[in-house]
């Protein structure tokens, strides 16, 4: 994976809340040696398996609540729920991610940046980078009201000394 800014995604990577597997599959395509994708939704995991087959990559898929995920990984990648329907739903993903690996890449709504920076500081984690961008979210769930929405997001690289 030469050419990437950090070598965080070369070995053992877990994608918690993987959904249809885009981030897990991306890590596998980038050369991660072991990739695990975890989600509670069996239908999403079925799609993830098909997507990995199409991309011709190996990913271990696990149906589980995130609280039950165990193991030691080199990095966590995730696009957790943004907390729009359940306030601060993303914080339980962050807490779990920091238990699993010393490096976390996580996507969050930009409007929550101030809260998240304070929250991560309380957890003893350090944000080494924040990159802002826009994401188009298609109508995927019943609660989505628009055909698609453009959301301002931040990609965080979070590190924790072990």
pTM of the model: 0.88
Least confident window among 40-44, 88-92, 102-106, 156-160: 88-92
Interhelix angle 42-55/22-29, rounded to 10 degrees, is 30
- The CA radius of gyration of the chain, in Å to the nearest whole number, is 15
**From the centroid of its chain, how far is CA 9?**
13
State pLDDT tens for residues 47-80. Answer: 999 999 999 999 999 999 999 999 999 999 999 9
Does the pLDDT of residue 137 top 80, yes or no? no
Planar angle of CA 140, 144, 150, nearest 5 degrees: 85
User: What domains are defined for the chain?
Assistant: 12-159 (3.40.50.150)
| pLDDT digit string, tens, across residues 75-132 | 999 999 866 556 778 899 999 999 999 999 999 999 999 999 999 999 999 999 899 9
pLDDT of amino acid 55 = 97
b/e string for 122-142 if b means 16 or more Cβ within 10 A?
Answer: eeebebeeeeeeeeeeeeeee
- The reported pLDDT for the residue numbered 1 is 37
């Amino acid at each position: 994976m030469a050419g990437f800014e950090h070598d965080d995604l070369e070995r053992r990577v877990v994608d918690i809340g993987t959904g249809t597997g885009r981030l897990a599959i991306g890590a596998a395509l980038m050369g991660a040696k072991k990739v695990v994708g975890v989600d509670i939704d069996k239908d999403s995991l079925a799609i993830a398996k098909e997507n990995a087959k199409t991309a011709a990559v190996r990913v271990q898929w696990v149906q589980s609540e995130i609280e039950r995920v165990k193991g030691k990984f080199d990095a966590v990648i995730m696009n957790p729920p943004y907390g729009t329907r359940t306030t601060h739903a993303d914080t339980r993903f962050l807490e779990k991610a920091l238990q699993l690996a010393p490096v976390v890449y996580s996507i969050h709504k930009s409007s929550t940046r101030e809260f998240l920076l304070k929250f991560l500081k309380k957890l003893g984690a350090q944000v080494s980078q924040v990159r802002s961008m826009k994401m188009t979210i298609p109508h995927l769930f019943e609660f989505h009201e628009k055909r698609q929405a453009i959301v301002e997001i931040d990609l965080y690289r979070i590190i924790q000394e072990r």
